[in-house]
């Protein structure tokens, strides 16, 4: 049906719908409904993946007790600002609640480092230090060292070449 107005008169044209047009219209409606369902499924899947990614980022900086007052924080993945920011509050809270005074941050699991990640790490280290915590870095590779220098890392930390040496240094009696 088609309706066209000319001044105050309407012209209505009625055309019988043939079966092919009706079939095509039904198929279009079916595809539209299926696309709507698919969009919802994709949105739900995206939300699940975002939650999983956030959890992976949170797990990339675990808090491992080595003694009553010392912890190891091994970092995993690439050192980006998001990794530090997602873990910062939890780590600060745990250090405060558990009265930690020494933290070993291990770089063995770190791949690439970007400038904002270095700035966020330096900020976190300063927060630890304001709480009276001594920071030690271990596992820093030549590539890490170049990136840290390139991005002007200036935190006042002690560096120990590897985690094994750090553990030996802190837990071997003389």
pLDDT for the residue numbered 83: 86
Per-residue model confidence (pLDDT) at position 17: 64
Of the listed ranges 27-36, 63-72, 119-128, 155-164, the one predicted with least confidence: 27-36
Mean pLDDT taken over the chain? 87
**Strands 2-6 vs 9-13: parallel, antiparallel or unpaired:** antiparallel
In the DSSP assignment, the letter for residue 114 is: -
Bigger pLDDT: 118 vs 44:
118
- pLDDT tens sequence across 42-94: 888 888 888 887 777 666 678 899 999 999 999 988 898 988 998 999 999 99
C-alpha angle 120/157/164, rounded to 5°? 105
Q: Is 83 left (phi over 0), alpha (psi -120 to 50) or beta?
A: alpha
Q: Residues 84-112: what's their mean pLDDT?
A: 93
β-strand 134-138 against 158-160: which pairing, if any? parallel
Give residue 77's pLDDT. 86
Looking at per-residue pLDDT, the higher value among 5 and 149 belongs to 149
pLDDT surpasses 70 at 15: no
Q: What is the pLDDT of residue 44?
A: 85
Q: What is the pLDDT of residue 76?
A: 87
């Amino acid at each position: 049906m088609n309706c066209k107005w000319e001044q105050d008169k309407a012209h209505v044209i009625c055309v019988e719908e043939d079966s092919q047009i009706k079939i095509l219209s039904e198929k279009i409606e079916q595809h539209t409904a299926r696309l709507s369902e698919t969009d919802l499924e994709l949105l739900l899947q995206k939300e699940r993946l975002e939650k999983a990614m956030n959890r992976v980022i949170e797990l990339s900086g675990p808090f491992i007790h080595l003694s009553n007052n010392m912890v190891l924080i091994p970092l995993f993945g690439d050192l980006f600002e998001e990794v530090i920011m997602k873990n910062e509050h939890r780590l600060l809270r745990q250090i405060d609640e558990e009265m930690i005074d020494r933290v070993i941050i291990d770089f063995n699991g770190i791949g690439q480092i970007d400038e904002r990640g270095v700035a966020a790490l330096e900020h976190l280290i300063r927060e630890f230090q304001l709480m009276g915590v001594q920071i030690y870095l271990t596992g820093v590779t030549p590539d890490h060292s170049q990136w840290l220098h390139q991005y002007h890392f200036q935190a006042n930390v002690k560096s120990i070449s590897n985690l094994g040496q750090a553990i030996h240094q802190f837990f071997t009696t003389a």
